């Protein structure tokens, strides 16, 4: 139902929440730590994603979120540079995809910083936004790097054909999925999530969670990777 939260997940330490709120006029996905009593030594942060943000990119962030925090913060630009994105630096830092349709930009206004990631396609002589995502400047670097890695990955993705954005139709190469491929992909993702969650909780001395059984669905939401 538009405008209502359909899904809310909270981390075991109750310091991080993910909310899915399908609303065409607002971000669909929001991940954040509360501004009150955040984890020791960690400033509050938030990330939001439009409804067409590629699910693989969001999964790159959530996968990084459930893993142990690395001892050394990774370079969020490294996955983009490795994939051939052009990175330029001035007052702000910007990375542009090889096809010119997607940008990752770190805005630096004095002490205030924030990230904006977006895809825009040319249509009838004008550029139109397909999707966008935003990160606060305090978002941990390994989470942004996880999102960037998922975004830059050029591997084929599974989509329902009629769910592709019209603006992207001339930039998408479609190949029919093999029988059972979608279901197998979803089972693999759920199995990987179970393993990652179990490792984190066992490492913290907590009991592994009882995740619900996998229920295959005939497709995957979202638009093309870019």
| In a domain? residue 102 | yes
| In a domain? residue 210 | no
| In a domain? residue 76 | yes
Q: For the ranges 25-29, 55-59, 199-203, 210-214, which has the lowest average pLDDT?
A: 210-214
The C-alpha atoms of residue 47 and residue 139 are separated, in whole angstroms, by 7
| Percent helix, percent strand, percent coil in the chain, to nearest 5 | 25, 25, 50
| In a domain? residue 118 | yes
Decide which of 165 and 42 is more confident.
Answer: 42
The C-alpha atoms of residue 150 and residue 157 are separated, in whole angstroms, by 11
Q: How many domains does the chain have?
A: 1
Mean pLDDT of the chain: 79
| In a domain? residue 72 | yes
| In a domain? residue 213 | no
Model-level pTM greater than 0.85?
no
pLDDT in tens, 131-174: 999 999 999 999 999 999 999 998 888 777 666 666 666 667 77
| In a domain? residue 222 | no
Q: Which domain holds residue 103?
A: 7-203
| In a domain? residue 179 | yes
């Amino acid at each position: 139902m538009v405008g209502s939260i359909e899904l809310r997940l909270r981390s075991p330490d109750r310091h991080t929440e993910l909310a899915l709120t399908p609303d065409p006029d607002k971000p669909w996905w929001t991940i954040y730590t509360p501004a009150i009593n955040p984890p020791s030594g960690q400033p509050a942060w938030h990330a939001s994603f439009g409804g067409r943000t590629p699910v693989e990119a969001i999964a790159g962030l959530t996968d990084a979120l459930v893993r142990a925090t690395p001892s050394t913060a990774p370079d969020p630009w490294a996955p983009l540079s490795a994939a051939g994105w052009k990175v330029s630096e001035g007052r702000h830092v910007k990375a542009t995809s090889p096809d010119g349709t997607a940008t990752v930009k770190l805005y630096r206004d004095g002490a205030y910083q924030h990230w904006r990631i977006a895809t825009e396609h040319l249509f009838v002589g004008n550029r139109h936004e397909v999707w966008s995502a935003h990160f606060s400047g305090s978002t941990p670097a390994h989470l942004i790097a996880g999102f960037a890695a998922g975004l830059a990955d050029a591997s084929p993705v599974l989509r329902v054909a009629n769910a592709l954005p019209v603006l992207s139709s001339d930039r998408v190469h479609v190949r029919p999925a093999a029988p059972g491929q979608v279901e197998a992909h979803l089972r693999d993702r759920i199995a990987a999530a179970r393993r990652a969650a179990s490792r984190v909780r066992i490492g913290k001395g907590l009991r592994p969670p009882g995740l619900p059984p996998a229920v295959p669905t005939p497709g995957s939401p979202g638009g093309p990777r870019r």
